[in-house]
Amino acid sequence: MEISEELVAQQQSEALVAQQQVVRLQALLEASRQLHSTIELNDVLHIALEIVVRELELTGAFFTTFPQSYGEVTPEFQASLHLNASESAKSLFSESFAPFKLCDKSGVPFAELIALIPSGRVLDLDETDFLEALAVQASVAIENARFHARALQWQRVESDLAAARQVQLSLIPQQMPDIPNYALAARSVTCYEVGGDYLDIVPMPSGEMVIVVADVAGKGLASALMGTSFRSALRAMVHAGLSLMEIATQINLLHYGEGDEARRRYVTGILFRLDPTTHTLEAVNAGHTSAFVMAADGALSMIKASSTPFGLLPFSSYAPERFDFSPGMRMLVYTDGMTEVFRGEDEFGETRLLETFVECREPTPELVLDDVWKALERFSDGQEQSDDMTALVMFRNA
């Protein structure tokens, strides 16, 4: 049987088409390998543009602008052309453009790959299929590079926050001062890596001790920064030998003068000045939670707020209260995170905290804090809390 020349030609044509499809498929596989060989975003874009120009012998190619969420895309690839060296920018305006959408994993387009086609040329079906498949592979590679960049960025943030946490922990008194006839213990727990609670015990040149428990409005890194600034200013004033009233007044004016952001992050605080020789205690409560004081006979009193928080108003006045800290007396000072522990919609509250403090007969401040924290844990039943918690307990030995 003789095979007609027409049939032979048809078979040869089909074989050529099949061969071209195999070659194109191999080129696509190689393109995919190259695109996924790196997780650097600009390298992925560069490879994709080179493949378009090289494999299809086009005039050039470019990407449309990427959203800002895609991180650092250099100007070279953000919206500019990637050209064959023999082409001039002026001639590009006579070329035709073929757009191919880049979509994220949920199918939402985020940019386009634009192929610049020479004048008089039309892409055939195989070439169009190749570019569409390349756009899909480029989308995946770009998304992977994007997530990699985000992961690196988050690792840097986590590292910085961990370092900030260590710095903040180092600023809390590492051990309680040895004050004759007195015992102190303190504890501070942040709900995030760093927090806005501030606790300090600073000796004065006179031998007296300034004790501070404060709470910056808000939580997290911004509040921690304000707390560090507050600490530096307060310590400088204590070492300068200022009175408690002068310290409170100057701290308020300084914080208010820092501007709107500082005023939004005002500080509630309670300042004490303990004279261990006369056993007198001065206190200024600037918009802070009430401190609990219990005498040896069980009589209770509170040191309530008598003025506005630091940095909230420029004209606040501060007058310290003075009282004797008698033998057997104990005091609990805390931030509002202690009372704002929740179990569902139920709040631990000031009443429960006071009852826990009064009923605790532990002989040391450390054990009192242990008892208080156990009560909070039992009440919360493991529910995650949303505020920093700081407390200080002081005893005068009987």
pLDDT digits (tens, 9 = 90+) for 252-310: 999 999 888 888 899 999 999 999 999 999 999 999 999 999 999 999 999 999 999 99
- Residue found under tokens 């996924």: 36
Cα dist from 81 to 64, 91, 133, 256, whole Å: 10, 13, 21, 53
For 5-153, the fitting CATH number among 3.40.630.30, 3.30.450.40, 3.40.50.1100, 1.20.1260.10 is 3.30.450.40
Q: Give the span between the Cα atoms of 48 and 137, in whole angstroms.
A: 9
Quote the CA–CA distance of 69 and 338 in Å, as a whole number. Answer: 39
- CA within 13 Å, CB half, 70: 26
Angle at which helices 125-171 and 220-239 pack, to 10 degrees?
A: 30
pLDDT tens digits, 332-378? 999 999 999 998 889 999 999 999 999 999 999 999 999 999 999 99
Read off the pLDDT of residues 199-235 as tens digits, 9 standing for 90 and up. Answer: 999 998 888 999 999 999 877 778 888 888 899 999 9
- pLDDT score recorded for residue 173: 82
Q: Sorting pLDDT into bands at 50, 70 and 90, what band is 68?
A: low
| Tokens, residue 96 | 């035709």
Q: What is the pLDDT of residues 17-63, one digit of tens each?
A: 666 666 666 777 777 788 888 888 888 888 888 888 888 888 888 88
Whole-number pLDDT of residue 77:
41
| 237-262 average pLDDT score | 91
* 56: nearest Cα among 14, 109, 100, 15: 100
- For residue 272, what are the contacts with CB-CB under 8 A and spacing of at least 6? 209, 210, 211, 212, 281, 282, 283, 333
Mean pLDDT across 103-128: 86
Per-residue pLDDT for 91 more than 50? Answer: no
Residue 110 or residue 72, greater confidence:
110
Token digits for 189? 């727990």
Does residue 393 register a pLDDT over 90?
A: yes
Q: Indicate the range of 14-18, 70-74, 119-123, 142-146 predicted with least confidence.
A: 70-74
Residue 241, φ and ψ in degrees, nearest 5: 80, 20
Chain region(s) in the chain for CATH 3.30.450.40: 5-153
| pLDDT over threshold 90, residue 69 | no
The tokens 């805390």 sit on which residue?
A: 334
Cross-strand partners of 332: 292, 393
CATH superfamily of the domain spanning 166-396:
PPM-type phosphatase domain (3.60.40.10)
The pLDDT confidence band at residue 3, using thresholds 50, 70 and 90, is low
What is the overall mean pLDDT for the chain? 84
pLDDT tier for residue 184 given thresholds of 50, 70 and 90 = very high
pLDDT confidence of residue 95? 62
Residues spanned by CATH 3.60.40.10 within the chain?
Answer: 166-396
Who's near 115: CB < 8 A, 6+ residues apart?
Answer: 52, 56, 58, 61, 97, 98, 99, 100, 123, 131
